[in-house]
Amino acid sequence: MSAAELSVAEREVWRLLATVPDPEIPVLSIVDLGIVRYVRSAADGRLHVGITPTYSGCPATAAIRSATRAALDDAGHRDALLEEVLSPPWTSDWVTPAGRAKLEAFGIAPPAAAAAGPASQPVRCPRCGSLSTERISEFGSTPCKAHYVCSACREPFDHFKCI
Amino acid sequence: MSTPAAVPARRDRALNDALFRYLLRLADTSLVLGQRLGEWIGHAPALEEDLGLANLALDLIGQARLLLTYAAEIEGQGRDEDALAFLRDAPEFLNLTLAEQPNGDFAHTIVRQWLIDAWQLELYEGLAGSADTRLAAIAAKALKETRYHYRFSSGWLVRLGDGTAESRARAQQAVDSLWRFTEELFTADEIDQRMAAAGIAPPLGAAAERFGARVAEDLTQATLTRPPQQPHPWHGKRGVHTEHLGHLLAEMQHLQRTYPGVRW
């Protein structure tokens, strides 16, 4: 395969992975989530796809792995290698701008910059846009979310944790 | 999924064996604490804290899986994470004695968590720069989670300590009762020394100082008193445990022992 063909294949796989949903927040794809670390054609002539887990114990990791494998197989990339990448560790900063917009539209406040430190910025209510919100719990329904309530519209909502 | 090879250079046998045991200490501490926290599910004082403790447990068990998988590879005897978690007996577990202590009341659970979070913070920060790249990657990942855990547990420590007379009394009682297990955290034995000499683990002396300063500051903020240091007759990390671990393992391992190899 020539280099040009390979990069076409790489682009095609990126597009394909952008259709694999996160099982717990299905509006997000695994590309939106920033967990696809690379798609590259290696010297062995095979495509290597690197995926990193969000949290060490996230139960979605296994589901994401098999959904990704199935998507690759169905698209004819049966010889593509799926690799688990631990380093550098995933950060919520890798959630793409498109992913952030989708989260907010879905009712989940997107993460602030992790570098700024936890809870350093006010969290905006994804429903009414108020900055007058309050944290109920550091934790929520999945490892990646915390629980908030809006003081303006009184609606509870999830906030994507910043790590 | 294949893991990109981070095959360590050929280590001498003794170093390899020490690394195996060192990895088990880290893994077992996370696993046993995760199992303890799981006992709270459905019983915590409020739904939010129930979810919180379960989330801590999930992260800890995830860290334990990464560490046990690596330990099994280092051992090279054909065991895997499940064999190590479910088919070892108490004397083969090398967790800190503190991790296996029963939940007690909520204050007790929070104080135990806070002490281990503060310990893991120091340890994982050092391990993130380990000469062993696989362990460094696991530690860097765990460190982010541990920072979050510590924020939760130290926040609760202050809330309970600087709270009502009742919550303060219970928090102080928990500190008094658990403090005797802290000596073990930073007492280096030959495995710790070997790991430090090989650049695999941070030297425990400097970590102990930072831990001491952090913990003292938190206690002051929580208006709690630090008990005097006591000699420790417990050696969980050498496989000598309090009676509590056996009971915990009986519950944790029951299914695998009764139905060997059972899968979902």
**Domain parsing of chain B, residue ranges:** 13-258
**What was the pLDDT predicted at A112?**
83
Alpha-helix residue ranges (DSSP H) falling in B39-105: 47-75, 81-86, 97-100
Nearest residue to A29 (alpha-carbon basis) of A21, A37, A38 = A21
**What was the pLDDT predicted at A132?**
95
Letter for the amino acid at B45?
P
Q: Is the dihedral of CA A38, A39, A42, A46 positive or negative?
A: positive
**What was the pLDDT predicted at A68?**
96
Residue recorded with tokens 């550091």: A138
Contact A161 B1 (CB under 8 A): no
**What was the pLDDT predicted at B9?**
52
Mean pLDDT of chain A: 90
CA atoms within 13 A on the CB side of B218: 26
Residue recorded with tokens 């700024």: A116
The alpha carbon of residue A163 is apart from the nearest alpha carbon of chain B, in Å, by: 6
Contact A86 B66 (CB under 8 A): yes
Contact A83 B1 (CB under 8 A): yes
Tokens in use for A155?
């609606």
Nearest residue to B249 (alpha-carbon basis) of B85, B7, B51 = B85
**What was the pLDDT predicted at B10?**
56
Q: Is B67 helix (H, G, I), strand (E, B) or coil?
A: helix
**What was the pLDDT predicted at A116?**
58
Higher pLDDT, B252 or A5: B252
Per-residue pLDDT of chain B (264 residues; tens, 9 = 90+): 444 444 455 568 999 999 999 999 999 999 999 999 999 999 998 988 999 999 999 999 999 999 999 999 999 999 999 999 999 999 999 999 999 999 999 999 999 999 999 999 999 999 999 999 999 999 999 999 999 999 999 999 999 999 999 999 999 999 999 999 999 999 999 999 999 999 999 999 999 999 999 999 999 999 999 999 888 777 899 999 999 999 999 999 999 999 988 887
In chain B, what residues touch A57 (CB-CB under 8 Å)? 57-63, 65
Q: How far is C-alpha A154 from the geometric centre of its chain's CA atoms?
A: 28
Contact B48 A118 (CB under 8 A): no
Question: Model confidence at A163, in pLDDT bands (50, 70, 90)?
Answer: confident
Question: Model confidence at A120, in pLDDT bands (50, 70, 90)?
Answer: low
In chain A, what residues touch B59 (CB-CB under 8 Å)? 55-57, 143
- pLDDT over 90 (residue A121): no
With b meaning 16 or more CB within 10 Å and e meaning fewer, what string describes B154-170?
Answer: bebbbebbebeeebbeb
In chain B, what residues touch A89 (CB-CB under 8 Å)? 137, 140-141, 143-144
Range with the poorest average pLDDT among A2-6, A43-47, A106-110: A2-6
- pLDDT over 60 (residue A3): no
Q: Please list, in sequence order, all residues whose beta carbon lies within 8 angstroms of the beta carbon of residue B11, skipping any fewer than 6 positions away.
A: B19
Facing residue for A89 by CB, picked from B4, B144, B151: B144
- pLDDT over 50 (residue A1): no
The alpha carbon of residue B116 is apart from the nearest alpha carbon of chain A, in Å, by: 18
**What was the pLDDT predicted at B2?**
47
All domains in chain A, ordered by first residue: 3-90 (3.30.300.130), 96-160 (no CATH)
Q: Could you tell me which CATH number the domain at B13-258 has?
A: 1.20.1260.10
Alpha-helix residue ranges (DSSP H) falling in B96-164: 97-100, 106-127, 133-161
Higher pLDDT, B62 or A4: B62
**What was the pLDDT predicted at A5?**
60
Contact A56 B52 (CB under 8 A): no
